[in-house]
């Protein structure tokens, strides 16, 4: 549905794609999608599609990087050159380097790395199709792929971005809303630990808007983690529980 007067929120209060402000895009999650990897997952938030592959714990070629008391977590976030309609250079961009670090920091608190000293756990996050929210879909896919690889974790993590468009807080911003909106707040965390592991803010929110946006994100993250558990349960127990 088209937004009224070219704005991003219609007169009926709906978004440019017909969603309500607090509505997530359709979510799809699948684990074990790559047989070569130790663990893998595909996550879709609407048109955003992200694949995560995990290898390890293993001994990497550069042994000088290893830590005596725990495994190191290495994360590579990459956008496939075909993932956007604009041409995206295949060379690693500063944004990809930043997002690799952001995603690593979002996962590190939940991985029980002390169990595997002198090893590396490698996480590859590959964006196949980008339409906003790739870092949060990436964290969600990586969490599933780590669990699928059997890496011991304190809890699962998931992420979502809340934005502000036409003065309205909206859940799970897509690319149109991200580029035209007034603010973008990507959040990731582990509800089972009550822990936020990623929080960034691009743009400006009042204190009250920030609190509301965080609440909105947190509810969505709780729901995403419930879905992660369901997908993992289905694969490993062959049963589905409501
Ligand atoms: P996120 O994907 O986590 O929302 P950004 O806010 O940096 O991260 O990007 C928003 C969206 O802008 C991306 O999901 C993607 O759709 C688009 N985008 C980002 N970088 C590029 C790029 N180099 N070329 C084309 N589109 C891009």
Residue 131 Cβ contacting ligand 1 at under 6 Å: yes
pLDDT at 241: 52
Give me the residue spans of the domains in the chain: 27-241
Report the separation in Å between the CA atom of 131 and the middle of ligand 1, taken as the mean of its atom positions.
7
Residue 86 Cβ contacting ligand 1 at under 6 Å: yes
pLDDT at 205: 97
Report the separation in Å between the CA atom of 130 and the middle of ligand 1, taken as the mean of its atom positions.
7
pLDDT at 239: 54
Which atom of ligand 1 is nearest the CA belonging to 133?
A: 4
Report the separation in Å between the CA atom of 175 and the middle of ligand 1, taken as the mean of its atom positions.
7
Helices marked H in 71-206 — which ranges? Answer: 94-107, 134-148, 175-180
pTM for the whole thing? 0.95
Which residues, including other chains, have CB under 8 Å from residue 105's CB and lie 6 or more apart? 197, 198
pLDDT at 1: 39
The stretches in the chain having pLDDT less than 70 are: 1-6, 239-242
CATH number for the domain running over 27-241: 3.30.230.70
pLDDT at 2: 39
Quote the strand ranges of the chain, DSSP E: 27-31, 39-45, 48-58, 72-79, 120-129, 158-165, 168-171, 183-190, 195-199, 202-203
pLDDT at 87: 74
Report the separation in Å between the CA atom of 6 and the middle of ligand 1, taken as the mean of its atom positions.
22
């Amino acid at each position: 549905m088209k937004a009224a007067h070219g704005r991003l929120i219609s007169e009926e209060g709906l978004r440019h794609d017909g969603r309500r402000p607090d509505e997530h895009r359709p979510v799809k999650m699948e684990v074990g999608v790559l047989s070569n990897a130790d663990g893998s997952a595909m996550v879709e938030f609407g048109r955003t599609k992200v694949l995560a592959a995990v290898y390890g714990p293993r001994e990497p070629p550069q042994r000088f990087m290893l830590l005596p008391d725990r495994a190191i977590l290495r994360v590579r976030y990459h956008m496939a050159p075909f993932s956007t309609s604009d041409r995206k250079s295949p060379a690693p961009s500063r944004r990809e380097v930043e997002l690799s670090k952001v995603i690593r920091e979002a996962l590190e608190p939940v991985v029980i790395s002390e169990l595997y000293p002198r090893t590396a756990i490698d996480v590859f996050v590959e964006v196949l199709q980008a339409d906003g929210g790739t870092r949060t879909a990436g964290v969600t896919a990586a969490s599933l792929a780590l669990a699928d690889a059997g890496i011991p974790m304190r809890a699962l993590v998931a992420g979502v971005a809340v934005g502000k468009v036409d003065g309205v807080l909206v859940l799970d911003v897509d690319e149109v809303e991200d580029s035209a909106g007034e603010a973008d707040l990507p959040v990731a965390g582990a509800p089972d630990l009550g822990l936020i592991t990623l929080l960034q803010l691009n743009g400006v929110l009042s204190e009250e808007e920030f609190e509301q946006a965080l609440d909105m994100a947190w509810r969505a993250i709780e729901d995403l983690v419930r879905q992660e558990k369901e997908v993992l349960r289905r694969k490993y127990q062959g049963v589905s529980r409501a």
